[in-house]
Amino acid sequence: METIKLREEFIKLGQALKAAGFVESGVDAKIVITDGLVSVNGKIETRRGRKLYKGDIVSFEGQEIKIEK
């Protein structure tokens, strides 16, 4: 499980996928998110701008990102 430490109050979903190295670019993030391949806290998320806060868990292709403060 990858961990992302927040510098601000939140991070956007597309940025988190890029920061964890799950996708190469923002365009790739947009594609996988809008195709319904990403879930946040167990629910499919199709909004690239979804704000992630401490405690959120992002899942993509069997990998996970945990958001920490």
Quote the pLDDT of residue 42.
97
User: Residue 49 has what pLDDT?
Assistant: 94
Q: How far apart are CA 29 and CA 56, in angstroms?
A: 18
Q: Answer for the pair 32, 60: CB distance below 8 angstroms, yes or no.
A: yes
| Residue stretches of the chain with pLDDT short of 50 | none
What is the structure's pLDDT at 30?
A: 96
Which domains does the chain possess?
A: 2-68 (3.10.290.10)
